[in-house]
Structure 1
Amino acid sequence: MKIRRRHFRQSSEAQNFWPSFTDMISTIALILFFLMLLAYIQNIITGNNLEYAKQQLMDTEKKLETSNMEIKHAENNLRLLEDRLEDIKAEVKQGEIALQISEQKIEEQKDIIAASNRELGNLRAELRSIAVLRLDVLKKVKESIEDELGKTDDTGKPLVTIGENGNIRLSNSIVFDPDSTTIKTEGKKVLNELAKSFEAVLNDKNVRKYIDAIEIQGHTDKRPYLEPNRKLSTDRATAVVDYLMKSNPTLANRYGEYFAATGYSEYRPVATGNTEEAWAQNRRIEIAVILKDPNIQNLIDNYLKDSLDVFEQ
């Protein structure tokens, strides 16, 4: 009885042991499988991470390379800016020097302008005196005639007037009859005094040096005459010059070269309209003192020359 019980226990234990061992092996195998699976998955994940990391590294290297290039470019730009800054500093320095020179030149120019203004004022005064000289000569001639013959003729008309152009005007009715070139007796008296007055004026060398010519001008009205108006005005002016020279031989011998005759016909009227009064004003003899343009021009040339000499210094 006892032996049977023992044998029975051994069999039961042997049967129980093998399933447990098999389960254990299966469990271990399963664990190993899972471990291998995990390892595999981890390798895959790690591989992917590694590829991603490599890609990231490559991208970072490219960015770094780009950044390095940008840094180099920035450094080049910085060097260019530094060079430009040095150039600007040099230009500013030159500008400061130029400004100082300009300020000095401005002061010099102010002095030059002030001197030029003084010179110009002197020139204007001298030119004004020359222009006034012309009028003074005519006034002296007019006053000399009036002192000898009076201011008006028998009809109350002025013997001599000075026009707006600064010329002496002799009424044609005093000197000539209508459509005639023969000087009237009354006209001869006026011309005799005129010849004496011009001799006295031309005797003054300070006056004479500015006079280029004394022009006797003949003027008619616009009505037709037996003689054409141009010829009539020219012949009358010539008759006056001839009489002045004949009346005063000293004037002819010393200063005959100054006198000229010109006919202007009806083309320079002093009055408009078709009335007897307007025609009478236009029929006239005018005496113009023409100043020497070269003398006046020399004054201007000398002024400009002096001014240019100052600017060239």
Structure 2
Amino acid sequence: MKKRKHDDHDEHIDESWLIPYADLLTLLLALFIVLYAASSTDARKFERMSEAFSAAFNSGAGILDNPAIIKSGEQSQQKIDDEKKTNTDQHEDTESNLQELIKKEQEDLEKLKQQLDQYIKKNGLSSDLETKLNQSQLMITISDNALFASGSDALKSDSIELAAAISKMLEPYTGYEIVVSGHTDNQPIRTQSFKSNWDLSSSRAIRFMDVLLENNKLKPERFSAIGYGEYRPVASNDTTAGRGKNRRVEVSIIRKYVDSSNVQQIPATPKQ
């Protein structure tokens, strides 16, 4: 009888050590998962490993006992993929809309330039006016001889007519910023009205802008005037012809949209 009891005791070996052993294996597995995920650059793998690691610690269940972890990871990745596709589609739509706006703006400015060039040719002003369209603006350059008497900011009668014609052509383009800038040569000036070329260039820009804005169909909030004095020359001040080119008023219609793929480097200002 004693031997029988002893045999029964041998058949019921204490297996409680399996519980901490299983937990230890789970923790080791989770550690290896983390190490693997940290060394991987694959976003999908990292997402799955992260969720598996979280489930292992929070639920206490073995990873292989919970196949829903993998399914959840796949669903999360699908969500990420869907968001990426949505963002890509939105970006393409935005880019497409931008290209349409750029195209429309280019057509508008080319049309305005053509009108200005026709006016210049019709009135024999080719030596006094010039238009140039680039990636930042449409610029109308007017020689000071066509606008002012020497050392004065009072517009000639012909220049008033010119300013009125330009303002009329600007009517359909009220959404653009218009900058009127005055420039002089490097010959010093000091009179009762103007103590420097800064004063003269600024006043000339403002006087010409005043005539443009006599057209009440234009928006004054879109206009600004600035004087650069002698500091933005387009030619050498060492010759009479060069100084004549530097004395000018510029009316710039500023682009609202810029196609970065076509932006060119702005040429350096000519040295005097």
- What displacement does 1:184 show? 3.5
Tell me the equivalent position of 1:162. 132
Tell me the equivalent position of 1:283. 247
1:89 paired with 2:64, answer yes
TM-score (norm 2): 0.59
| Residues 135/73 of structure 1: CA separation in 2 closer, same or farther (3 Å cut) | same
Please provide the CA RMSD for this pair: 3.6
| Residues 254/117 of structure 1: CA separation in 2 closer, same or farther (3 Å cut) | closer
| Residues 79/289 of structure 1: CA separation in 2 closer, same or farther (3 Å cut) | closer
Structure 1, residues 78-112: CA drift from partner, whole Å, max 9, x if none? 34446557533257x35412331133124312430
Tell me the equivalent position of 2:229. 265
- What displacement does 1:131 show? 4.5
TM-score (norm 1): 0.52
| Residues 219/141 of structure 1: CA separation in 2 closer, same or farther (3 Å cut) | farther
- 2-structure distance, mates of 1:259, 1:123: 27
1:225 paired with 2:195, answer no
- 1-structure distance, mates of 2:133, 2:235: 12
Q: Percent identity?
A: 25
Residue 129 of structure 2 contacts residue 142 of structure 2 at CA under 8 Å; is this kept in 1? yes
| Residues 263/133 of structure 1: CA separation in 2 closer, same or farther (3 Å cut) | farther
Q: Give structure 1 regions of 4+ aligned residues with deviation exceeding 6 angstroms.
A: 71-74
Per the alignment, in what secondary structure is the counterpart of residue 142 of structure 2?
Answer: strand
Per the alignment, in what secondary structure is the counterpart of residue 163 of structure 2?
Answer: helix
Residue 163 of structure 1 contacts residue 169 of structure 1 at CA under 8 Å; is this kept in 2? no
Tell me the equivalent position of 1:10. none
Tell me the equivalent position of 1:178. 150
- What displacement does 1:286 show? 0.7
- 2-structure distance, mates of 1:147, 1:158: 11
- What displacement does 1:72 show? 8.9
Residue 113 of structure 2 contacts residue 133 of structure 2 at CA under 8 Å; is this kept in 1? no
- What displacement does 1:220 show? 1.5
Q: How many residues get paired? A: 205
> Which residue of 93, 96, 105 corresponds with 2:79?
105
Contiguous gaps of at least 5 residues in structure 1? 1-70, 297-313
Residue 148 of structure 1 contacts residue 193 of structure 1 at CA under 8 Å; is this kept in 2? no
- 2-structure distance, mates of 1:196, 1:148: 16
Task: Output the amino acid matched with 2:209.
Answer: V
Per the alignment, in what secondary structure is the counterpart of residue 194 of structure 1?
Answer: helix
- 2-structure distance, mates of 1:98, 1:273: 75
| Residues 123/73 of structure 1: CA separation in 2 closer, same or farther (3 Å cut) | same
Tell me the equivalent position of 1:117. 91
- 1-structure distance, mates of 2:63, 2:226: 73
Task: Output the amino acid matched with 2:253.
Answer: V
Tell me the equivalent position of 2:123. 149
- 2-structure distance, mates of 1:222, 1:178: 14
